Structure 1
């Protein structure tokens, strides 16, 4: 029922959630949430905005019910919304083995005319916004929480972070990185991005924002560039390729061909792909000698992410000692990988919908004017990255 925590756990789906008030009514706890937005990590899928109430009640058998329903139809002159939530939510039942059984229902009326053709099959299948995605995300986040709370960390593996406070701080920093990445892809109205360009399937959508007095971001003008495209390669293969540090120099232009090594990692799920890593680029460029790369990779049946950000080595040492990571400046970039809707089974058949996104500081002075050259540079960076990925994975389809 904590909306801030809920939107953090489901940051890949929820781009905004605001609580207005909470009251008790006939044994139900009623929580008002204004103009929540739901997203798919792609600039080609509009966010869904909904205004609804949330009911929460524990039944006599111990089962909890958390149910949302839109208020738009109850208002005299409802504002047009892209999404109306019919009764939706979950039932949470305690199991004898200490686990929980969760039953999830998503029932919405939605205007899908703004969805690009690339994503229509996925959206129409229900797997972009539907119950399967919510449950898969919840399951993965529960594993992540268990990792953060774990105290019996094996010490035999090289690079495993065993300091519990350091693990918590690094996971918290990675969590903020993921939230910031998702916010820069979907262009939710809750985030202060201004769209500069991008209207079609082959376009790179570029947005800008000014960062001032935000300890979690470097000050100045930040550009976010994102594009989505289809690959005739299963999502699992794309995910493994992008998260593997050994293949990073095949697509990462900014690493300048340097050898990438994993310095430390935190496993946070049953799948070996669910991991937070600290990478080092051994580059001939001396200006990069004090930089590390923080990376989180995560995967489930409905979506996969590889998100990373350059971090200062001094700041990371402080984080690994268990200090507050909120003051570490981050500008995340990365990938969101979704199935194309053509093969949603466990076999991993079908192609992939890949979103590539970068956030780059183009001027350290927030009041500076944005130059066209900066936009062209970011456009070129993302276009070259896309071509490298296509070339590297082309052998899979040959």
Structure 2
């Protein structure tokens, strides 16, 4: 289903009750004190207020960077429904499939170093590992992994409700129990399995853990002070953060699922960051500070991806372009993880914005409203 794969990481059913605490019905429409007086005048604040008031989000956070690099942050709603604490300004959230862009940057750096070839087969780096019904790693290229054109089935559609630690190869094995969606290179379909394999290739080529390579090659060079790849078994969020919530049905109470083992996302969606750090990351990427020009051009070479990312959207190598209503394109990715949903983008002239809400979106209307909030920020 489209709702299970959009922006990546989405479980098909409820998380187990043991992993979540029922805390009752939220009270919408509460603003954090520093922003309340400006809400009447600021279109960004109004957009966040609407996400809380109209879409029932416990909290919404935004970070806005103008073309001169100046940043403003906004919040609306309640960051902890148990205590009533306001949403923390620029708090850390689980960024889901934004992780894919970090992984793609590392792979493309290895391409620039001539240690990985985009046209080479998966078997070149992981011989014999990828086999299944209609699946052969000798026929799937690294480029097809990064661009979601491999035809590999999406492992996260088949995990069920078991909340526990998953090793990367266990995630891959889950996918390989199912037939290919199409022959490699003949179509496009979003699959988290592609990025598990990309992460495994990074580890095989470098001989280092994926988390260390992302930190060494991307996080530190880009100056991301609040971004990290959680260690195995780390179910918490390190710094100030809004709590993330889950609702099993429209009339069910919200459950706090902030603390959860994120390993089932791994290279497809395990990372934690803030809105300001994501803006800094995508701005640095578009400005050519993380990749040589040849590899950045490859990353920005796109194919249609409207079925998952909406009208006019196109998918590059771990990077999504979307047309803005005021003209031009935004470049980013977005992410979905239990308890959190993020959308954002950056433009070639230096603007950037990221909006996060503290409940995973499962309906099309909610996702569109979140995307419109980002568009409002970038077009204001």
Q: TM-score range with shorter-chain normalisation? A: under 0.3
Higher strand share goes to which structure? 1
TM-score (norm. length: structure 2)? 0.27
Higher share in helix: 2
TM-score w.r.t. length of structure 1: 0.26
Greater relative contact order structure (CA < 8 Å, 6+ sep): 2
Q: Which is higher, the Rg of structure 1 or of structure 2? A: 1
